[in-house]
Structure 1
Amino acid sequence: MSRIAVFLIFALCLLVASYAMAGTLTGTIRVIDGDTIDVAGTRVRLHGIDAPEASQSCTTNQGKSWNCGAWVSREVRARYQGRKAVCTPLDRDRHGRTVARCMVGGEDIGATLVAQGLAFAYRRYAMDYDLVEKQAAAADRGLWAMNVQNPADYRRNGQAVAPSQRQSVAGDCNIKGNISAKGERIFHRPGQEHYDRTRINTAQGERWFCSAAEAVAAGWRAARR
């Protein structure tokens, strides 16, 4: 092989490597809020997740209101502030932020936050963390142990919605159609073991039913207890 051919191959390899490096963000994390960080001077919106806004409040099952948005930001900051991240840019959002999947110590930040109940799977844009969220919900981890308004709804409305509005029941339609961590459609009637702890998120396909017959007809099965 001629020297010119070797040189061209070497130059091509360098060019490919430079493009690959340009497509990766590596640097120290500065946490902005539950789903937004700065890496290497770039504002990054974490791919596939949505966390409560810093100003957002939640309500415990005992009816106590508290600032869960600020709590999530503190928890994320405690875990990741100052650590080194390697982020793969995937898109750019309407605010000009880089949407990226970020790894710290070989672990996906988005998956970890959803698994610990500090953020929700953002199914509008990705299904990457769908099953991870269902497992967190089934275990009542983090935000799943309380009444939380969907962050997107909060941003859209600009204010919190009362728990009674979030978990609204129309008349006698008080049967909860829940989707389990395994994707099973299960309905719970008042008085059953897991009725009170079951949360209904209509944005994820869950719903209320007025009768067991209606639930069965829609494809849900009755909870065993």
Structure 2
Amino acid sequence: MLRICSLFTLSLALSFGAVPADAQTVSGVVRVIDGDTIDLNGTRIRLHGIDALEASQTCETATGQPWACGDWTTREVRERYQGAKAECEALDRDRYDRIVARCQVGGVDVGQTLVRDGLAFAYRKYSMDYDLDEKAAFVAERGIHGFKTISPARYRVTRRSGTEPTRPKGSCQIKGNISAKGTKIYHMPGQDFYTRTRINTRKGERWFCSEAEARGAGWRPARR
């Protein structure tokens, strides 16, 4: 029986991959990476049970106007949690070797709060913990649920295909291209290289709805 218990304990330890036994609770100051990913003093944390919009995603209003809801989501999460002290319970590691954890700030579950406020979806593929929170946000049209968009999971599938995703009808016509040297350049309709520029989302290229949005994301204007 002792041998069986020892093997069981070893199995649990191995299930956390490289997470040391004394680090199953990770704490530190939050640096927001995106809507569902943070750093705690250099340790990358993927929030358990939620899936936030990708930074390059757009939404559409009831009147058909596009807006950069992916960037907005990241900014909202950053405004709430950047610099805060978080306590995270490590649950697993994902395929990118990030710690998957349930995190609290001030004793409040961060993932649940983001889903409840319409800043993220419940990631039902991995957990049903926040299923009811998302349904309540959807009914109340909180956050992103007040607009037309697709799920982050579906968006990632489209992006991995290497095709230009369907854009909402409207003004999101600015092409954010990344050169062979890694320079981020945006092209406006009517410029010399606009028509021949193709957007490959697998490389991080994207569409923008305004020059202010492109500049804010780190792109510079094309010279011609």
Provide TM-score, normalisation by structure 2: 0.62
* CA–CA separation in structure 1 for the residues paired with 2:168 and 2:138: 17
Higher relative contact order (CA 8 A, sep 6+): 2
Secondary structure of the residue aligned to 1:147 is coil
Q: 1:155 to 1:82 in 2, by over 3 A?
A: same
Q: Does residue 64 of structure 2 align to residue 59 of structure 1? A: no
Q: Does residue 99 of structure 2 align to residue 107 of structure 1? A: no
Which sections of structure 1, spanning at least 5 residues, go unmatched?
Answer: 1-18, 165-225
Bigger Rg, structure 1 or 2: 1
Secondary structure of the residue aligned to 2:153 is helix
CA shift at 1:163, angstroms?
6.2
Equivalent position of 1:22 in the other structure: 23
Secondary structure of the residue aligned to 2:155 is helix
CA shift at 1:62, angstroms?
1.0
* CA–CA separation in structure 1 for the residues paired with 2:90 and 2:21: 11
Equivalent position of 1:84 in the other structure: 85
* CA–CA separation in structure 2 for the residues paired with 1:149 and 1:161: 11
Asked whether the 8 Å contact 1:53–1:151 carries over to 2, the reply is yes
Kindly report which structure 2 residues correspond to 1:1-225, keeping only aligned pairs within 5 A, or say none.
21-158=22-159, 160-161=165-166
Paired AA for residue 147 in structure 1: K
CA shift at 1:40, angstroms?
2.5
* Per-residue Cα deviation, 1:55-105 (whole angstroms, up to 9, x for no partner): 111111110111100000000000000000000111111111111000000
Aligned-residue Cα RMSD (Å) equals 1.6
Paired AA for residue 31 in structure 1: V
* Per-residue Cα deviation, 1:9-30 (whole angstroms, up to 9, x for no partner): xxxxxxxxxx864211000000
CA shift at 1:160, angstroms?
3.9
* CA–CA separation in structure 2 for the residues paired with 1:84 and 1:20: 21
Asked whether the 8 Å contact 1:26–1:39 carries over to 2, the reply is yes
Asked whether the 8 Å contact 1:35–1:46 carries over to 2, the reply is yes
* CA–CA separation in structure 1 for the residues paired with 2:83 and 2:148: 31
Name the stretch that deviates more: 119-128 or 152-161. Answer: 152-161
Which sections of structure 2, spanning at least 5 residues, go unmatched?
Answer: 1-19, 170-224
Q: Which runs of 4+ in 1 moved over 3 A?
A: 159-164
Asked whether the 8 Å contact 2:66–2:168 carries over to 1, the reply is no
* CA–CA separation in structure 2 for the residues paired with 1:154 and 1:53: 8
* Per-residue Cα deviation, 1:14-50 (whole angstroms, up to 9, x for no partner): xxxxx86421100000000000000131111100000
CA shift at 1:148, angstroms?
1.2
* CA–CA separation in structure 1 for the residues paired with 2:108 and 2:21: 20
Asked whether the 8 Å contact 2:90–2:102 carries over to 1, the reply is yes
How many residue pairs match? The answer is: 146
